[in-house]
Chain A
Amino acid sequence: MEDKLVIAGNHIRSRFFLGTGKFSSYKIMQEAILASGAHLVTVALRRVDAQSKSENILDYIPQGSIIMVNTSGARNADEAIRIARIGRTLGCGNWVKIEVIPDNKYLLPDNSQTIKATEALVKEGFIVMPYMSPDLADARRLQDAGAASIMPLGSPIGTNKGLKVLELLKILIEEIKLPVVIDAGIGRPSHCAEAMEIGADAVLVNTAVATARDSVVTARAFALAVEAGRLGYCAGLKPEQERAEASSPLTGFLR
């Protein structure tokens, strides 16, 4: 069977999603998108300058990309909803990554406000992909609210620490019927591969690529790791064993 990622009825050509913040220039950001083959890119509305006389970030997003506005800066559901609406008015489309962060120290999301914003924006026809702390009950609530996917963090934004909440992510992947996109904390290609090997549907990376010495090559490395990890998952990689098991000491008598 063909291995296709479909979100809200749309075929997403790459399981590597790229955030567009923190780059040293829009040109390098554009090259990184192209080099990685990312099809879905997130853009913070706070950075979109429709009236800009010089540079507008949207002009550097390659044709054919799916642009997902993120609500960076929203401190509650109401602000996230307003940002999403402004994004649509500015021609950024229907895709929205809900990011509600009332904490400027760790940038950890507020799940309850995220659920509230998801409920409202789904009703308004948005394709909603919420960024969340990996909590099963909340993930189910987001699913019930009509989210198109869930995007749990691997570790806090910008930390490059990888999948520090691995066990919780595995549970979400097992239990949630929507695509699970691991967002935040991914700092190395091996983290991408690990995310895909445990069965995540995609990863979203920004800081590690944008702040790398060579963002373009790094983007490509991450995208390749995503592909490798996914292939491994589809090929049915065996899980790691806690220890070697040469015999069956408890059930050997049944042979």
Chain B
Amino acid sequence: MPDFYDEILKYKGFDFSAHLAQVKSADLQEILNKEFLSILDFLSLLSPEAFLFLELLAQKANKLTLAHFGKTISLYIPLYLSNYCDNECAYCGFKHSNTIKRRKLTLEEVEQEAREISRTGIQHILILTGESKLESPLTYIQECLERIKKYFTSIAIEIYPLKEEEYRQLVSSGAEGLTIYQETYDEVLYDKLHLKGPKRNYAFRLGAPERAAQAGMRQVNVGALLGLGDFPRDAFFTALHAKWLQDSYPAVEVGISLPRIQPQAGGFDALRPWSDKEFVQLLIAMRLFLPRVGIAVSTRENNLLRKNIIGLGVTRISAGSRTEVGGYTLEQKTSGQFETADKSSVEEIKRMICEKGYQPVAKDWQRL
């Protein structure tokens, strides 16, 4: 079992609803005045009572974000390499049983897509693939990294979980960041939602961020797919996971993503959809609990919401995203992993950020 599993076990049987129900306004006043919040303070910030304090909490989140990240928003862009997948995740458009067009980019196509993306000026790319070690093995990921690294100063990966040694190989090929979502931290629900394939191994996935940190990955990004598990359980464990990683690997830049489940091929309705209100409350709570953690919000969220949450804690947003394999340049693209809600172009996103009085940052790392 990965080390973080022990942290999860500490909350076995913990009554999240009971904690939320007993939060009083005096507790929130106290939390507002604190510099360092505990994980239970964080949980209190997700209570119904905390919603009454939302404006005050938002102001504090705004101040913290300004102090630590300034008036800037970093941009990144995703590149899907392949949608072959051996897993059967109930909620995913790429799941094995879905009869969608499957495709894996050739190295030439990968380079073609990378070249096109680099025309936007964005220097941060996130490469993604479905989980098929046969179709997209480690060597293929490495070859892709080698091919595209001349176009970008920072490459992150969002692929199936690997062993530490494998992460080390990707770092040496130019990967700098890892994004991996546990989807849900609820082990029982995880088991129900992941019906077939290697992803059924909850523990191996849970330990991926720490293995990547040990392997020298500069950035490690965690998250839960909001809408699968109980509110606020998955939010709680995401925060706990990020905090634990930050404490255990202080040199690693730990980040959080807040993906809310969206419609995709194969039709799956969120088990527990998160409202905008809950989403914003969570964003603010994350910022207060983890003042220096980067928070990413993707094009799963619509443009207006993304615009409104700039200043509340978000530090990175994706722009101009295509979630299909070959989405940027190929005629015969596949269907996407999920439907993007914000279809704005990179230039439109940059303009939106500027209108909010922030600077869109296309480059925030220099590969060494």
Contact = CB atoms under 8 A, between A and B. Distances in A.
Contacts of B121: 49, 52-54
B68 to A, nearest CB: 5
Contact of A104 (B72, B251, B357, B359): B251
Contact of B250 (A86, A105, A159): A105
A38 interface: no
Given A22-B71, A86-B366, A105 B358 contact: no
12 contacts: A22-B70, A24-B358, A47-B364, A48-B363, A49-B153, A73-B366, A75-B251, A102-B250, A102-B251, A104-B246, A210-B70, A211-B71
Contacts of A24: 71-72, 357-359
Contacts of B364: 46-47
Interface size class of B (residues with CB under 8 A): 20 to 34
A45 B363 CA distance: 10
Contacts of B253: 104
A242 interface: no
A164 to B, nearest CB: 13
Contacts of A62: none
Contacts of A49: 121, 123, 153, 362-363
Contacts of A104: 246, 250-254, 292
A79 B368 contact: yes
B195 interface: no
SS class of chain B's interface: helix, strand, loop or mixed? loop
Interface of B: 66-72, 119, 121, 123, 153, 218, 246-247, 250-254, 292, 354, 357-359, 361-366, 368
A177 interface: no
A82 B368 contact: yes
B357 A45 contact: no
A23 B361 contact: no
Contact of B366 (A83, A158, A159): A83
A160 B253 CA distance: 22
A158 B251 CA distance: 18
A46 B362 CA distance: 11
A124 B71 CA distance: 35
A7 interface: no
B5 to A, nearest CB: 23
A159 B291 CA distance: 11
